[in-house]
C-alpha cells in the first residue's frame, strides 16, 4: 500500500495536544463567583462553609482550596509543579516524593519482570527442544495462561504473607506466560540446519545454547518479552492499589482517598510516562538481540 502525506507529524501532535488541553480547560472552567442576588446571610453561610472566601477588594470569590468537579489542566499543572518540587522529600511513612514512588514501582516491576523472563526463557528452551515435554506441559500452560495475574493475589498474599513480595509475584505471574509460550515456539521452530551445524561442530551444551539456540530464537523471544512487558506493566498498578504498596499506582489510589482529583490525574500521567520510559529502554535492548534473515 502506498502511504500518502507529507508534513511534520509533530505539528499535528502539537495541534492535537492544544485542542485537547484547550477543550479540557474550557469544559472544566467554572464561572467566577457572582455575589449578586444572594443575601448577606447566605453569603456569610457560604463563607462559613468554606465555599467562598473574601477577596482583597472586599468582594467574594470561590475558595480555591475547595474545588468542585474535574480539575482543569492548570490545576493539574500546579499539582505537578508542587509534586515534582517535592520529588525527593519523604514527609511520612506513606507520603514519599514522586521520585521515590517511581523508583519503588520500577524496581517492583523490574524484579518481577526479570525473574519471570529468566524462568520463562529457561523453561521455554527446554520445552522448545523436547516435543514430548512440550506436549506434557502444554495443557498446564494453557490453563494457567489466561488467569488474570490479580486473581492470584489473595493466594499469594496468604502464602508469602508479605505484600512487598506479593506485588512482585503478581508482576511475575503477569509476565511469565507470554514469554514462556513464545520461547518454546521460537526454539522449536528454529531452522534445523542451525542445530545441524552446531552438532557437526560438536559445540558444547553451553555454547549450543548461547551461540545458536538463544540468538536464533531471539526475535521470537523478544516478541514474547514485549507482550509480557505490557501485561506486567498493566498488572503492577492495580497490584499496588490493592496491596497498599507505595508506588505510582498506589499514588493514584491515595489521591482518590484524599479526594484530590488533580492528584489522581497527575498520578495517571506519571504511570504513562513511566511506561513510555520503560518501553523505550526495552526497545533499545530488543534491537541489540534481533537479526534479519
Q: Applying CB under 8 A, which residues contact another protein?
A: 191, 193-194, 196-197, 199-203, 211-212, 215-216, 218, 291-293
Total number of residues shown for the chain: 293
Shortest reach from residue 183's CB to another protein, in Å: 16
The C-alpha atoms of residue 278 and residue 206 are separated, in whole angstroms, by: 31
What H or E segment, with its residue span, contains residue 32? Answer: none
Q: Which is nearer to another protein, 54 or 191 (CB)?
A: 191
Q: Which is nearer to another protein, 216 or 249 (CB)?
A: 216
- Phi, psi angles (nearest 5°) of residue 116: -65, -40
The answer to whether the CB of 236 falls within 8 A of the CB of 109 is: yes
Q: Which is nearer to another protein, 40 or 293 (CB)?
A: 293
The C-alpha atoms of residue 289 and residue 225 are separated, in whole angstroms, by: 12
Shortest reach from residue 162's CB to another protein, in Å: 41
Q: Which is nearer to another protein, 68 or 191 (CB)?
A: 191
Q: Which residues pair with 61 in a beta bridge?
A: 53
Q: Which residues pair with 95 in a beta bridge?
A: 92
Q: Which is nearer to another protein, 163 or 215 (CB)?
A: 215
Shortest reach from residue 181's CB to another protein, in Å: 22
Shortest reach from residue 214's CB to another protein, in Å: 10
The grid coordinates of residue 72 equal: 482543569
Shortest reach from residue 216's CB to another protein, in Å: 7
- Residue 119: partners with Cβ closer than 8 Å, 6 or more residues away: 172, 176, 180
Amino acid at each position: 500500500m502506498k502511504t500518502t502525506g507529507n508534513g511534520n507529524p509533530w505539528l499535528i501532535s502539537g495541534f492535537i495536544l492544544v485542542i485537547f488541553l484547550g477543550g479540557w480547560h474550557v469544559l472544566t472552567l467554572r464561572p467566577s463567583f457572582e455575589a449578586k442576588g444572594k443575601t448577606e446571610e447566605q453569603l456569610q453561610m457560604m463563607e462559613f462553609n468554606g465555599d467562598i472566601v473574601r477577596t482583597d477588594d472586599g468582594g467574594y470569590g470561590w475558595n480555591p482550596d475547595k474545588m468542585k468537579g474535574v480539575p482543569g489542566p492548570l490545576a493539574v499543572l500546579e499539582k505537578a509543579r508542587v509534586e515534582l518540587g517535592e520529588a525527593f522529600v519523604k514527609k511520612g511513612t506513606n507520603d514519599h516524593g514522586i521520585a521515590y514512588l517511581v523508583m519503588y514501582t520500577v524496581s517492583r516491576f523490574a524484579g518481577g519482570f526479570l525473574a519471570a523472563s529468566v524462568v520463562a526463557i529457561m523453561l521455554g528452551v527446554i520445552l522448545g527442544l523436547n516435543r514430548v515435554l512440550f506436549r506434557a506441559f502444554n495443557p498446564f500452560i494453557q490453563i494457567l495462561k489466561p488467569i488474570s495475574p490479580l486473581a492470584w493475589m489473595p493466594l499469594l498474599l496468604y502464602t508469602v504473607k508479605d505484600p512487598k513480595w506479593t506485588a512482585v509475584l503478581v508482576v511475575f505471574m503477569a509476565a511469565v506466560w507470554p514469554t514462556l509460550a513464545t520461547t518454546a515456539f521460537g526454539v522449536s521452530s528454529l531452522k534445523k540446519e542451525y542445530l545441524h551445524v552446531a552438532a557437526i561442530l560438536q559445540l558444547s551444551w553451553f555454547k549450543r545454547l548461547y551461540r545458536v539456540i538463544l540468538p536464533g530464537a531471539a526475535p521470537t523471544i523478544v516478541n514474547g518479552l514485549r507482550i509480557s512487558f505490557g501485561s506486567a506493566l498493566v498488572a503492577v498498578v492495580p497490584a499496588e492499589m490493592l496491596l497498599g504498596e507505595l508506588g505510582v499506582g498506589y499514588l493514584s489510589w491515595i489521591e482518590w482517598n484524599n479526594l484530590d482529583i488533580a492528584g489522581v490525574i497527575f498520578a495517571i500521567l506519571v504511570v504513562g510516562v513511566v511506561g513510555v520510559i520503560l518501553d523505550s529502554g526495552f526497545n533499545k535492548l530488543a534491537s541489540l538481540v534481533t537479526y534479519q534473515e
